[in-house]
Chain A
Amino acid sequence: MQNIEQELRQFVVDNFLFGQPNGHLSSSDSFLDKGIIDSTGVLELVVFLEETYRIKIQDRELVPDNLDSINNLVRFLERKLQHTS
């Protein structure tokens, strides 16, 4: 999971912070509170997760509890990957 966390962080930094130094993004930081993500950001994130990890995300799963921090993402992804494997 260490690996996944790094991949996710890399995606967030590249895609939403445009490679800017990310020392201040901790794994528990809320993307919403930090203003990192907007409405299209959620969809960009979903496309990335579905394509990279070959999972299918249901509409009802599109909630901040699943997607709103690196930690939430890791937890959500772990659960999804267990289900599919």
Chain B
Amino acid sequence: MCGIAGILNFSEKRVDPVLLVRMVERIGDRGPDDFGIYTDKRAGLAHTRLSIIDLGAGQQPMHNEDKSLSIIFNGEIFNYLELRKDLVRKGRSFRTRSDTEVILRLYEEKGEQCVQDLNGQWAFAIWDSKRERLFLSRDRLGVRPLFYTISEDAFVFGSEIKSIFALPNVSREIDPIALDQIFTFWVSIPPRTIFKNILELPPGHSLTVHRKQIAAQQYWRLDYAEGAKNLGSAAAHEEQYAGELLDLLVDATRIRLRSDVPVGAYVSGGLDSSFVTALVKKFTETPLRTFSVTFDDAEFDEGSYQNEVTHFLETDHQEVRCSCEDIGNVFPAVIWHTEKPILRTAPAPLYILSELVRAHGYKVVLTGEGADEMFGGYDIFKEAKIRRFCAAHPQSTTRPLLFRRLYPYQPYLQGQSDAYLRAFFHVRPHELKSEFFSHLPRWELTSKLKMFFSEDIKSQVRSHDGYADLRSTLPPGYSAWDAFCRAQYLEAAYLLPGYILSSQGDRVAMAHSVEGRFPFLDYRVVEFAAGIPPHLKMKVLNEKYLLKRCANGLVPPSVMKRAKQPYRAPDGKSFFHGSQLEYVDALLSSDRIQQDGLFDSLAVKSLVQKFRQGRAIGVRDNMALVGILSTQLVVEQFVRNFGDRPFYAEHRAGTASVCR
């Protein structure tokens, strides 16, 4: 796990190594163990390394014998041993034991099609100096990040946006359209990012740059055509599905334990992480240490379930307690790493947790990420199902009572009268026809936050239609998929990479040089899950039905039975709890809001007042506060004062190895 960065000059002009050093220094957290750079007559590659596999010999950039190919790579190829064996059989020789070299040799063998053979999580760049082609690729689901920008005379890329901003002459400006998208979908739609002219290589894509020609290709996509086809035919095969799935998960977990350093696991107290931990304990010989975060606030704390899991599975366990104050204190650092506005504080405790992991000397953790998306765990899937069921008989007074089965962790919703419950979940006729049916309530609620936009931003985004943007990125055949699969796709293709795996995943883990690995996101598991009939994912209203069947007996019975509780953390109140936070006062002050020009100062003032008086209890108010504050932190740390943050290099020993 590492960080990569590079520059390709369109004309023949050597890249200044100092620029490359600056780029990787900015992302030094991603790889504190070593770093290296390479330049030739027009390309420059830089790499900062966290040593996990082949500790002694895996230095990068890595080259082939005649140095016509150079690779920099962030991530892991979990099936590298099998691929290596295969390549050796075909006559390729290897100089190292690293997975990096496997990619390089595979590229020699297969060219750009090499990505089809990889099972892993990656962002890499290969410079083919003979053909003058730069080839970039990002893993299927978007576990590892990759950003780029195109200027008059160069193509510039990096693992994080801050590495690109390290260059002079790259402008740092907020994109109002991206802001509008985040304040609708919680994410911007790739390749768009919150910064104008900074693009993200979407998951499942590769990109080639040859002179000034830049072309992206999608080499893989999540496809639910199979799942829709199987509908209704598979009840008899339930047992078979469960058996096959367990075999796949065992293997996905096994290959994710390949590492030359010890591997840990996160335990949230829910089914998914418990299952992953159980797979390690029961099916491998790996000694396992587990880590978890607990909360002062009982509303969010899952400590008792975590204890049950760690006792049941007899793991060596460490935990860190997180308070509202802690979240308030680390939030600016968290946004420095997320590099985008977020609507929830949930990444903050995970930032604190990765610090704990690192403090115990661990660099790698397995987690349960992806199970809810792939196997149908989220309440939004259940909500869509009930809404459809109610809409089929709009006059029914009993059907809406099913909404009480939703969001058991939201007391305010649970306390509503039947009449209000009906009203809140009322399905309007146009919604039934929408391809976004499942997500309309969430997106419409989130869109309410735009009332806080300044007049200027409102006028800039007025003619923009976020739904049309999203529609234009949907895969062919989407509208023919089963409704449940469409909802899954919207979660898995947008929110998963844009928020769960990035703001809540890679960025806050790598902040402390910790790498996450996700057995549920092995592409074989993902493709298998996509082919499971929807009624086996959620049986009536029993979420993750098939996955639970697989996990039966492997995790504590109480964890199997408990109501689904999504991972959440205290939001707005984290910033108005105990001692006043200086940065909150400064960034939300009317003067500052007016100067930055993104939000309406009067509205923000009323919102802040509502929080200070302890009256802001709703989801909408909390999302608004976190969204506005994180946006202001993005402006402060990236647009206004980017140069002021001390270079990582100042805090570390070691020197760069410069090779030419």
Contacts and interface: CB of A to CB of B under 8 A. Distances in A.
Interface of A: 14-15, 17-20, 32, 35, 38-44, 59-60, 62-65, 68
Contacts of B410: 39
B423 A64 contact: yes
A18 B617 contact: no
B42 to A, nearest CB: 53
Given A20-B602, A40-B617, A59-B417, 17 more contacts: A18-B451, A18-B452, A18-B603, A18-B606, A18-B607, A18-B610, A19-B603, A19-B606, A20-B600, A38-B618, A38-B619, A39-B424, A40-B620, A41-B618, A62-B419, A63-B419, A64-B420
A64 B413 CA distance: 15
Contacts of B419: 62-65
B593 to A, nearest CB: 12
Contacts of B412: 39-40, 43
B416 interface: yes
B424 A35 contact: no
B561 interface: no
Contact of A62 (B416, B451, B618): B416
B448 A63 contact: no
B615 A44 contact: yes
Nearest 3 A-B pairs (CB), nearest first? A40-B618, A18-B603, A18-B606
A19 B603 CA distance: 6
A43 B423 CA distance: 15
Contacts of A65: 419
B314 interface: no
Give the interface size class of chain B.
20 to 34
Interface string B185-218: 0000000000000000000000000000000000
8 contacts: A15-B610, A19-B602, A20-B600, A20-B603, A35-B448, A40-B621, A43-B415, A44-B618
B423 A32 contact: yes
Nearest to B421: A39
By secondary structure, the B interface counts as helix
In terms of DSSP, what is the predominant structure of the interface of chain A?
A: helix
Q: Of residues B423, B448, B604, B620, which shows the largest number of chain A Cβ atoms within 10 Å of its Cβ?
A: B423
A39 B451 contact: no
B444 interface: yes
Contacts, number: 65
Interface in B596-646: 600, 602-607, 610, 615, 617-621
B420 A42 contact: yes
B451 A20 contact: yes
A37 B600 CA distance: 20
A44 B617 CA distance: 8
Given A18-B606, A43-B412, A64-B419, A35 B444 contact: yes
Nearest to A47: B615
Nearest to A65: B419
B3 to A, nearest CB: 41
B84 to A, nearest CB: 55
A11 B620 CA distance: 17
A59 to B, nearest CB: 7
B615 A15 contact: yes
Given A38-B619, A39-B416, A14 B606 contact: yes
Contacts of B452: 18
B413 A39 contact: yes
Contacts of A18: 451-452, 602-604, 606-607, 610
A19 B620 CA distance: 16
A35 B446 CA distance: 11
B610 A39 contact: no
Given A44-B615, A44-B617, A44-B618, A39 B606 contact: no
A77 to B, nearest CB: 18
Nearest to B603: A18
